[in-house]
Amino acid sequence: GHDDVDEERAAGAGALLRWHHPVLGDISPGQFIPVAERSGLMIVLGDWVMEQVARQLVAWRDAGLQEVRVAINLSGRQFWDKALVDKVRDCFRRHALAPGQLGFEITESLLLDHQQPAIAIIQALREMGCRVALDDFGTGYSSLGYLHELPVTTIKIDKRFIQGLGNRRSNAIVAAVTGLARELDMRVVAEGVETDQQLQALARYPIDLVQGFLFGTPLLA
């Protein structure tokens, strides 16, 4: 879940994919996502995830929960799938979702050398009201050029910097990224918040949302 810092409430959720294998037990996404990418199954898997999330949003709406927001991670293959924007538009239409109910998270590595074509894709998603977050910011190839060019709405500061707060270098990076995001009118999410000390350390910085095990571990719908 993502928690709103000021209002202390759940501001949305991220859809997590988990594989519970009858023989091999729990297989982590770190293992099966790269295999899905290499085998060409990632697009089918990604389409299935988007459909499941949309159905869950409809079920929550029918149960009286309005305007729940869920973010979906997009892998490279999904993001560069020429049909992505049409699929998202179709999903909104078929399930009568409110603008922005689905959001997306992408990583910097996915954009490597393809910044210009990415702009059009992100812009098209934004026009449907989707929030688009740059995930794990600071760990990949963090280029200020991405922030200058890409119409992303949100930066997610990687947990290694959040968990390193108190260390001069981590403090400096969090201060720089949050200051930059504020000037660019982007929202900032602190990832991987696990202790009250980390939450208190974050109070010095202009952060909009916090996410991590301090607020809840992965849950079923």
Q: Is the pLDDT of residue 56 over 90?
A: yes
Per-residue model confidence as pLDDT tens digits over 177-219: 999 999 999 999 999 999 999 999 999 999 999 988 887 777 7
Per-residue model confidence as pLDDT tens digits over 77-97: 999 999 999 999 999 999 999
Confidence (pLDDT) at 4:
53
pTM: 0.86
CA angle 71, 73, 55 (to 5 degrees): 50
